[in-house]
Amino acid sequence: MHNTDPAASHLPNIDNIDGLMNLLSACVLVVLGNVLDFRTYRAPTQEENQKRNKSQQILIEHDFNTIPFNERYAMCYSRGVALHLINWVRHSCTVTGPEGEHVPDLPSFFFVQIAQTLIKYKEGANSSGLEMQANCTLDMLTRQIENVVKIVSRFSSLWSEHHS
């Protein structure tokens, strides 16, 4: 499925695994956009390196943060487009491994692997004492990732399998 349209020259060629993984990587970054944005973990009235007080904690628990509404809206829209592309790949592409075996639902496995890796990275950073963004705790990061995982039933079932 090679496109000869010069306007499409920037698009990944999904006829090979490198192009497919480039497309999926971009989609995963977009889907996890707010998870990876440190503003997600800071209340609107909270300074960048300040710990939360009780009222700020309540705001964060209700998903009020420092990301402006127009950016949050754009993130939601972009996430929807990325999820649509992931679903399209899942249903329209046949992925085979190096030995010619069928690889079922590569997009979901890839997404869950990246999400799990983020949590493991955060756990490792915490245990090694690395100075990290103060407001992005392991619990908050896990909660944000689990909010995204709930969006797609296939992500959710793979996520549940990992934790069981």
> What's the pTM?
0.83
Decide: residue 35, CB within 10 A, 0-12 exposed, 13-18 middle, 19+ buried.
buried
Separation in Å, CA 35 to CA 105, 112, 125: 23, 14, 17
**In which residue ranges of the chain is pLDDT below 50?**
164
Return all residues near 91 (Cβ < 8 A) that are at least 6 apart.
none
Q: For the chain, give every domain's residue range.
A: 6-163
Where helices occur in 93-151 by DSSP H, the ranges are 106-128, 138-149
pLDDT at 127: 83
